[in-house]
Amino acid sequence: MLGMKKSIFRRLILSYMFTIVLGIGIVGILMFYFGNNYIYSAKQEELLRQSRTVNSNIQDTRWINEEKQEILEFLNQTFGSQIWIFNEKGEIIATSTQDEVSIGKSVAVSIVEKTLQGENVVSRLKFEGLSEPMLSVVVPWGKQDNVYGGIVLHSPLRGLNDIVGKIRETILWATLFGILFSTAMVSYHSWTISRPLQKIDRATSRMAMGDFRERIEIKSEDEIGDLANTINMMAEKLEKIEVERHRLDNIRSDFLANISHELRTPLTTMQGFLEALQDGLIEDEGRKRYYDVMYDETIHMNRLVDDLLDLIKLENNEITLSKYHVDTKSILEKQKFKFEREAAEKGVALTLTLGESLPNAYTDPVRFEQIINNILKNAVKFTETGEISITAEKDGPFLLLVITDTGIGISEVDQEFIWERFYKVDRGRSKQNKGTGLGLAIVKKLVELHDGKITVQSQIGQGTTFKIWMPSEEKLK
Ligand SMILES: Nc1ncnc2c1ncn2[C@@H]1O[C@H](COP(=O)(O)OP(=O)(O)OP(=O)(O)O)[C@@H](O)[C@H]1O
Ligand SMILES: [Mg+2]
């Protein structure tokens, strides 16, 4: 991550600096070049103008008398430029500053020649007899067709060089400021880019390690903000998947634990009984009872396996119903007959009341019987006195079955959980309940598969009522 930050920063700073240095450099060089030229040529023009003024004041004679000397001194002070006058031989015959050193000296032959031909000469050289480099112009002295010599005007280069130096300095400062400013800008930009990227990196690293609770808090509405939102959405989905996976894992391990427990109980009983029989400890008459118990246990295990297979198929949507119009009355009578004896043995009455114009149930008959069977079996199992009543009537497009008992009842809290597989109220005490807690889970799934509905109402010690609505007509799709 840090590498990325560094590389973004480096790339940005390099490109910014390159642009700034190149831009300012080009502008600076051009400014320097043109400014320099402009300043020198302006000064040159000024000097030429001044020299022409000098000439117009001294062009009437070939010599410099005192009056002209005074003029020269006056013009020197006015223009701030030193003036030399030389004759056609190039000998300096007068200077505006009474400069004894220069008088009598000669100007370079090439300059004299050019001047005598009527040309102007410009030089930036240090003339002999001058204390510092000067910008010097030489113009012919005299009249157009009668040149007596030349007029030289010197102006110190120092002032000009100062100005040029200032320009150079300004450009340098501007470049420096540009670099500083661009560094600050780049730092800010790379910070605004790299900070959210760092956040994203931190969050995604956690996600990579399997922690999907992490969310990225970036509110910006740019591409980085979009990226953060997308990652957040992805994390949300992954989190849901993870929670679901966890839940399924738990269900699976619970399921396996329950199955093992339910299978172990009858197996342990049978093992104990078999061992006793093997040891020959059991008398002849006792043996039958032992076989009966073992037979019961195998039946129980068989039923457990059947129920489990049913439930697994129901949960995996692998059960297809063969629905058709089933005669409600005959099914209910058959179920009543099945449990009548067992109820009577306990002194519990079992009644069946059929409503008028009772509709057929539009169901899978095998599954329909399984539903009624499971409910009735519970009613008989959990009722010791009183009665169990079954009523059937039409309720709109449904057939409504109400199975009421006067048994032990189910508390309000437990009513919520009885539909869950393996759930048995008060496991410890109800030793006589040999059930596995799968009956109602299967009932609920089967009723829902029929697009029906089942509810429970119950009070502890008073009894329980199950209401089942099953479709009585073929649904028009
Ligand atoms: N009519 C009832 N009266 C009182 N309690 C009931 C009644 N029906 C169900 N229960 C309670 O609900 C629990 C779950 O019922 P369910 O039919 O699913 O399991 P089970 O009867 O214990 O076992 P299985 O049906 O698999 O043999 C029962 O163990 C019992 O505690
Ligand atoms: Mg049951």
Closest alpha carbon to 463 in 423, 404, 418: 404
The DSSP secondary-structure symbol of 91 reads B
Gap from CA of 469 to ligand 1 centroid (Å)? 20
The CA distance from 338 to 344, in Å, is 11
- Amino acid 253 reads S
In ligand 1, the atom with minimum distance to the C-alpha of 425 is: 31
Q: What is the pLDDT of residue 36?
A: 80
The CA distance from 319 to 299, in Å, is 23
How many C-beta neighbours within 10 Å does residue 150 have? Answer: 28
Q: 227 CB contacts (<8 Å, ≥6 apart)?
A: 200
Task: Please report, in tens digits, the pLDDT of each residue of the chain (477 residues total).
Answer: 445 556 777 777 788 778 877 887 888 788 878 888 888 888 889 999 999 999 999 888 888 888 888 898 999 999 888 899 998 888 888 888 876 667 778 888 888 888 888 888 887 766 666 667 778 899 999 887 888 899 998 888 777 778 878 888 888 888 788 888 878 887 888 788 888 888 898 889 988 888 888 888 888 888 889 999 999 999 999 999 999 999 989 988 988 888 888 889 889 989 999 998 888 888 888 888 889 989 999 998 999 899 999 998 998 889 999 999 999 999 999 999 999 999 999 999 999 999 988 999 999 999 999 999 999 999 999 999 999 999 999 999 999 999 999 999 999 999 999 999 888 887 555 556 778 899 999 999 999 999 999 999 999 999 999 999 999 976 655
pTM for the full model?
A: 0.58
Q: What residues does ligand 1 touch, defined as CB less than 6 Å away?
A: 307, 374, 378-379, 382, 405, 407-410, 418, 423-425, 433, 435-441, 464
Q: What is the pLDDT of residue 88?
A: 86
Q: Is the separation of the CB atoms in 206 and 214 below 8 Å?
A: yes
Helices (H), 99-148: 109-116
The length of the chain in residues reads: 477
In ligand 1, the atom with minimum distance to the C-alpha of 434 is: 27
Helix, strand, coil % over all residues of the chain, rounded to 5: 55, 15, 25
Choosing from 304, 378, 388 the residue with most ligand 1 atoms within 8 A of its CB, the one to mutate for a pocket test is 378
Gap from CA of 405 to ligand 2 centroid (Å)? 14
Tell me the three state secondary structure of residue 108.
Answer: coil
The DSSP secondary-structure symbol of 474 reads P
The CA distance from 5 to 235, in Å, is 24
Gap from CA of 266 to ligand 2 centroid (Å)? 17
Tell me the three state secondary structure of residue 379.
Answer: helix
The CA distance from 405 to 382, in Å, is 9
Least distant ligand from the CA of 388: 1
Least distant ligand from the CA of 423: 1
Q: 289 CB contacts (<8 Å, ≥6 apart)?
A: none
The CA distance from 94 to 76, in Å, is 13
Choosing from 421, 424, 438 the residue with most ligand 1 atoms within 8 A of its CB, the one to mutate for a pocket test is 424
Choosing from 262, 440, 445 the residue with most ligand 1 atoms within 8 A of its CB, the one to mutate for a pocket test is 440
Q: Is the separation of the CB atoms in 447 and 470 below 8 Å?
A: yes
Gap from CA of 366 to ligand 1 centroid (Å)? 21
Q: Is the separation of the CB atoms in 175 and 24 below 8 Å?
A: yes
Q: What is the pLDDT of residue 157?
A: 77
Domains parsed from the chain with CATH numbers? 2-162 (3.30.450.20), 224-312 (1.10.287.130), 321-471 (3.30.565.10)
